[in-house]
Amino acid sequence: MEVIILGSGTGVPYLRRGSPALAVKAGGRLALLDLGSGACRALLKHDLDFNQVDLIALTHLHPDHLGDLVPFLFATRYSLGYTRQEPFYILAARGFHDFYRRLQGAFGQWVEAPSGLLRVQELNPDGLDQADFGELMVKSAPTRHISGSLAYRLEADGVSLVYSGDTDVSDSLVDLAQGVDLLILECANPFKVAGHLTPIEAGRLAVRAGASRLLLTHFYPPCDTVDVTALAAAEFPGEIIRAEDGLVVNLGKKG
């Protein structure tokens, strides 16, 4: 399993960090966790492109987490460049179908992928759910941010990761992340903002989950004025990684 940080920032324009997006290569699939503005272009820096995307898992419907969704769908209509034949999936909380219909109302056919290629799977916003992609299993659980916010757990090749999306301290997230190999948590600011984690809270959450490693991401600019890893390390004794755009983390393969 390989994790690529496409964007480690927020919706604030910031030269150092793009909007939230991760690419995960696991179980023979390419998954995108969130799709912030610039994510499609960032894929190209890692010899990946939109033809290879098997699934897009959206944590919630805030603009900074799906800013490239419309450009992605529009790009699939470029017949000279989009040659994919297998369906791709969008995973999101229940209610996404209505959201997508409103996008179609605004943009018409320009956000409609070639016939038969796009499949949407809505997930339970109030409890655990899952989607099976052969050697890759995706599980979800609600988080405390806005209505319909989800965290995702990906399991393949005997290893696992959990991506929180935006969240406050959430028992459901702790349950989803039990024993995870890599826990990817937002820590938006070094001070408390409702609906988000501080680095200290992220460290505590990682301890409760029994995570092996912790990766911190979704940084507003104030996070770059302090040592967020040191703050989290006051609570979590394991390895802590500070996300940067372009960072690649390999989890290896077990079993």
- The confidence score (pLDDT) of residue 201 equals 98
- Report the DSSP beta bridge partners of residue 160: 155
Closest CA to 161 of 146, 144, 176: 176
Domain ranges of the chain: 2-249
Whole-model pTM: value is 0.97
| pLDDT above 60: residue 36 | yes
Report, as an integer, the average pLDDT of 157-172.
Answer: 98
Report, as an integer, the average pLDDT of 37-42.
Answer: 98
Confidence of residue 255 (pLDDT cuts 50, 70, 90): low
- The confidence score (pLDDT) of residue 155 equals 98
Q: Are 36 and 19 in contact (CB under 8 A)?
A: yes
Report, as an integer, the average pLDDT of 67-79.
Answer: 97
Q: Are 50 and 39 in contact (CB under 8 A)?
A: no
The torsion angles phi and psi of 125, rounded to 5 degrees, stand at: -80, -5
Separation CA 77–CA 74 (nearest Å) = 6
Pair type for strands 182-186 and 2-7:
unpaired
Confidence of residue 253 (pLDDT cuts 50, 70, 90): confident
Report, as an integer, the average pLDDT of 51-79.
Answer: 98
What average pLDDT does the structure give for the chain?
Answer: 97
Confidence of residue 3 (pLDDT cuts 50, 70, 90): very high
Residue for token pair 């937002």: 186
* Superfamily designation of domain 2-249: Ribonuclease Z/Hydroxyacylglutathione hydrolase-like (3.60.15.10)
Burial 197-233 (b: 16+ CB within 10 A, else e): bbbbbbbbbbebbebbbbbbbbbbeebeeeebbebbb
